[in-house]
Amino acid sequence: MAAIHLALVTGASRGIGAAVVRRLASLGFDVAIVCKKNIEMAQAVAQECRLLGVCAEAFAADVSSEEDVSALMSGVQTVFGRMPDVLVNNAGIAAAGVFADMTNQEYDRLFDVNVRSVFLLCRAVYDSMVSQKWGRIVNVSSMWGVSGASCEVLYSASKAAVIGLTKGLALELGPSGITVNAIAPGVIRTEMLSCYDAETLASLAEQTPVGRLGTAEDVADAVAYLVSDSSGFVTGQVLGVNGGYIT
């Protein structure tokens, strides 16, 4: 009987992260559901997953904090009796504004959440994945990390850093049977779009060749492929889940 994989997903109480958790649970993965504050929502997602017959637990952690990540990994090992062999770094924040107006504090916050968290979690699972000669890491970037975006310069820079980390780590871990890939979502209908009115959302959908906005489930399906056994020859890649949106 094949071993049951354990997936740790960050930013997983709602939106893309929750969709990823539900998709992986439907495929038989045990899931560690990580959020920063919304533990009740994360626990509700965990309960949904348990109804699918897998082991699931919610954890609260600030994944930009080394201390919190250490405590998180200890908690995961206690609950599941093993380290994750699948890691989905989905936690992230956005910030918009003219570059000249951006503050040092906004810079630090964006890079702590969007980049430092990826570094800390990848480092946390590194040894265990290398030891077992198998692992899947998926880092959620953005289409703006590929092309850059006016008035979202720092966000673009942080998501571009995620891509650079992904490509370098893929080369380092490839000989150990571990793949590392990034997903660059386009315009996905989540709470991040709540600042846009209906007219703007309709315009964004019209600009997307497939004629609609993306969903969290679209991203989750891409993650499911990248963490599967079928993707063993795919590493160091940036998969654009964007409906053909040209940036």
**What are the tens digits of pLDDT across the range 115-168?**
999 999 999 999 999 999 999 999 999 998 899 889 889 999 999 999 999 999
pTM as predicted: 0.95
pLDDT class of 200 with cuts at 50, 70, 90: confident
pLDDT of residue 192 exceeding 70? no
Distance from C-alpha of 11 to C-alpha of 153, rounded to nearest angstrom: 22
pLDDT at 112: 98
What total of structural domains would you count in the chain?
Answer: 1
pLDDT at 151: 86
| Residue 133 exposed, middle or buried by CB count within 10 Å (0-12, 13-18, 19+) | exposed
Amino acid at residue number 115:
V
On whether residue 246 sits in a domain, the answer given is no
Percent of the residues in the chain that have a pLDDT greater than 90, as a whole number: 81
What are the residues whose beta carbons fall under 8 Å from the beta carbon of 98, sequence distance 6 or more?
A: 151
Report whether 48 contacts 75 (CB < 8 A): no
The residues pairing with 137 across neighbouring beta strands, listed in sequence order, are: 87, 180
* Range(s) of the domain holding residue 27: 6-241
On whether residue 19 sits in a domain, the answer given is yes
Distance from C-alpha of 212 to C-alpha of 130, rounded to nearest angstrom: 41
Distance from C-alpha of 230 to C-alpha of 125, rounded to nearest angstrom: 21
On whether residue 84 sits in a domain, the answer given is yes
**Closest listed residue to residue 92, CA positions, set 183, 1, 176, 178:** 183
Helix (H, G, I), strand (E, B) or coil at 181: strand
pLDDT of residue 195 exceeding 90? no
On whether residue 114 sits in a domain, the answer given is yes
On whether residue 247 sits in a domain, the answer given is no
pLDDT class of 1 with cuts at 50, 70, 90: very low
On whether residue 138 sits in a domain, the answer given is yes
- Kindly report the CATH number assigned to the domain that includes residue 72: 3.40.50.720
Active site residues: 155
Report whether 71 contacts 47 (CB < 8 A): no
